[in-house]
Structure 1
Amino acid sequence: MPAFVPADAAGLLLRSESDQLEFLSATSPRTTELELYQAQRDEGPCVDVVRSGERVEALGEDQVTGRWPTVGPAIIEAGFSSVFAFPLHWHGRAIGGLNLFAVSEEPLSEDSRQLGQTFADVAALVIVQPQHVDESDLLGNLRRALEGRVVVEQAKGVLAYQLDIDMAAAYDELLRRSERDSTSLTAAAAATIDEARRH
């Protein structure tokens, strides 16, 4: 996942039938400890996303410890400076949360946020209906998500060349086009590439 979303570790918590959060998986022992600590203390990014059903982000020690006075210091002590959490949705309800921990304090780009949510959505599907999920369907979902990221990067390159701007400014322009046309970032990127090919 770090190759596609700039995070250094990940963990999953699920809502149980008794409405308690239970640990499911993590990428490292220290991340496992953080996930278990959240469940025990009923505090943290996964707890928040399950309650609200909305994505949660905290960048830097002040935000992390300010938002979660008990769990936040443990996140910082584990060597992470930022955390991004995505809800696992099923039929309009958050059944769990995917936590991404990062050493840096850099925010996620919009395409990384979309990709993180895609991973969470696929995880929810696998958890809830494993017997109905074909491997090719899963690979297809992930492939589409990754292809979307590639399209965004290609469109940024096109805009940088056309407008003689750097990649950060090209990304801002792509966001502006997405908002202007009320479409997704990937769709705006595809339209930008198609337009360039026609000219």
Structure 2
Amino acid sequence: MGRESAVYAAFASLTASITEDLGPDRVVDTLSSECVRLLPIDSMEVFLPGLKLERYPAVTEEGPALESFETGRDIAVGDLSSAVSRWPGYVDRMAGLGYAAVSALPMRAEDEIVGAITFLSTRSAVLSTEDRRLGQALADVASLCLVQQRELRHYRTLSEQLQTALDSRIIIEQAKGVLAERSGVSVSAAFQRMRAFARSTNRKLADVAHGVVDGALDTEEFLRRRVR
């Protein structure tokens, strides 16, 4: 596959995470594998404190990823040994792993910076302008996908909460009618008795209502109770 076709395939793989409802880990894995495949690097790291994903650190030591995330700028160091006073701990760790050069790019989603990616090389060299642009484009697309997934998860959770609340409201209304009929009191009075019973027994009102409707709960006792 030619480079141009490979680049198109990389972007297609990233954007597919939205339509196929893939998890954030899949997006980051795709970003990592495509960057290593398309760019002259030996490895890469992903730093995503803005999304709070379990697999990716919320905090990190000194280094280019943290600096790129905080400043929103790209960083390129062709010789890591020259940055020992800038990031002493980081340079020592990377040198121990055999890396000699590093580049970092912010992960942007519109006006939000969600993290940064770090490109690592065993050779003392910096990425070309073209390669940095490609890396930044891949990072930005991945960032947009991750933020879109975050929004989808938020709205899905909200929808589930609203549905649960609606279901509870419906079963409570049904239980009020059942109790009113059994006790010969108004619907309002039946609700007061049901709520008092739920409080006195430390149960959720919806659970009490389910018990009333499906007959699993003996209602004779709290039908006789006085509402406090």
Amino acid at match of 1:80: Y
Matches of 2:104 and 2:98, distance apart in 1: 17
- Give the conservation status (yes or no) of the 8 Å contact 2:77–2:103: yes
Map residues 72-151 of structure 1 onto 2, 5 A cutoff. 72-130=91-149
Three-state SS of the structure 1 residue aligned to 2:125 is coil
Q: When the two structures are superposed, what TM-score results if normalisation uses the length of structure 2?
A: 0.46
- Give the conservation status (yes or no) of the 8 Å contact 1:13–1:22: no
Q: When the two structures are superposed, what TM-score results if normalisation uses the length of structure 1?
A: 0.52
Partner residue, 2:38: 4
- The Cα offsets for residues 147-184 of structure 1, whole Å up to 9 and x where unpaired, read as xxxxxxxxxxxxxxxxxxxxxxxxxxxxxxxxxxxxxx
- Give the conservation status (yes or no) of the 8 Å contact 1:14–1:96: yes
Which deviates further from its counterpart, 100-109 or 123-132? 123-132
Partner residue, 2:180: none
Change (3 A) 1:114 1:24: farther
Match of 1:60 among 79, 84, 102: 79
- Give the conservation status (yes or no) of the 8 Å contact 2:64–2:118: yes
Matches of 2:150 and 2:98, distance apart in 1: 38
Which deviates further from its counterpart, 66-75 or 50-59? 66-75
- The Cα offsets for residues 20-42 of structure 1, whole Å up to 9 and x where unpaired, read as x87745xxxxxxxxxx6x9343x
Equivalent residues, number: 118
Matches of 2:140 and 2:55, distance apart in 1: 15
Query: Over aligned residues, Cα RMSD in angstroms?
Result: 2.6
Amino acid at match of 2:89: T
- Give the conservation status (yes or no) of the 8 Å contact 1:49–1:94: no
How many percent identity over aligned positions? 24
Shift of 1:131: 7.6
Matches of 2:54 and 2:76, distance apart in 1: 20
Structure 1 runs not aligned, ≥5 long: 26-35, 134-199
Matches of 1:23 and 1:11, distance apart in 2: 15
Shift of 1:116: 0.8
- Give the conservation status (yes or no) of the 8 Å contact 1:79–1:103: yes
Match of 1:15 among 38, 46, 49: 49
Shift of 1:54: 0.5
